Amino acid sequence: MDDDYNSGMGCPSESSLAGRAKVCDGCPGKALCQKQGGVDPDQEMINLRMNAIKYKILILSGKGGVGKSSIAVGLSISLAQHSNKVGLVDVDICGPSISKLMAVEGAKVVNTQYGWTPLKSPHEDVKVMSVGNILEHSDNAIIWRGPRKTQLIKRFIKDTFWGRLDYILFDTPPGTSDEHLTVVSALKNVKPEGAIIVTTPQQVALTTIRKEINFCRKMGIRIIGIVENMSGYVCPCCQEVSYLFQSGGAEKLADEYGLKLLGKIPVDSNLTACAEEGSNLFTKHPDSPASIAFRKIATELETTLPR
């Protein structure tokens, strides 16, 4: 494997050649990788916390603006409605939105003898952790270098008293960066179930998704499936769905890579209104097209994962 890295294949961040292989030349994280090495002193506690959780899933997207956080929220609530205990971690350090969407904005995280206590959302009692809840003011800009982001994400995992859960979802920022590498590295010993990749039908989004798929394969992350967001526009009057973008893109991409298409979420005005208010789509509009689509995806996910 070391020969593969030296010949320019893959990222060696988890090998003895981290920061030293030929592929590392020109990488901005080269110096950080060289400093890191040996046994991570936090790994034992991370394993202890995460082994109490049955399914650990990353929510990924190749680019911003595809509604990844909305998908993470909708999926976490849908799973909780199926009598599952669910946690949701906002790993988007510089652009956190989960606090607003899960109606815990303004609430502060409490530190106890057992660790940080995750916030309990009024939406089906989903447990939530976000940087938005540890800032003194929610509109403060977060100007942090990679190592500080890494430490905070690890604290969300190892210092939070999650307890026993059926699912924990990690809402990650767009692309492939420090945040993704940190989560993947932290979960390496606890067998995460994999990643759900979110895209929209436009070709520009599908192009970046290919990079995300390649990232997952290089890092050894199983891809559970693809979710197509903004798949069509739901008329608020007649509920007819009109397709604003080229349809069928996600199906073709899934077929090309041998992946499962978990489902499609339309642009639904009810979903948009609930996101703006931080209210629960599934209680306010249980029969809306978006609610129905989320429930189908949650069911598909549960049948896809090993029991």
Query: Domains in the chain and their CATH numbers?
Result: 1-38 (no CATH), 41-304 (3.40.50.300)
User: pLDDT for 182-194, tens place per residue?
Assistant: 899 899 899 899 9
User: pLDDT for 249-306, tens place per residue?
Assistant: 788 889 999 999 999 999 999 999 999 999 999 999 999 999 999 999 999 999 999 8
User: pLDDT for 45-70, tens place per residue?
Assistant: 999 999 999 999 999 998 888 899 99
With 80 as the cut, is the pLDDT of residue 143 above it?
no
- The token duo for 239 is 């509920």
Q: In the prediction, which pLDDT does 175 show?
A: 81
pTM of the full predicted structure? 0.86
Residue spans of alpha helices (H) in the chain: 2-6, 30-35, 43-50, 68-81, 98-101, 146-158, 178-186, 203-218, 249-257, 269-277, 281-284, 289-304
Q: In the prediction, which pLDDT does 8 show?
A: 47
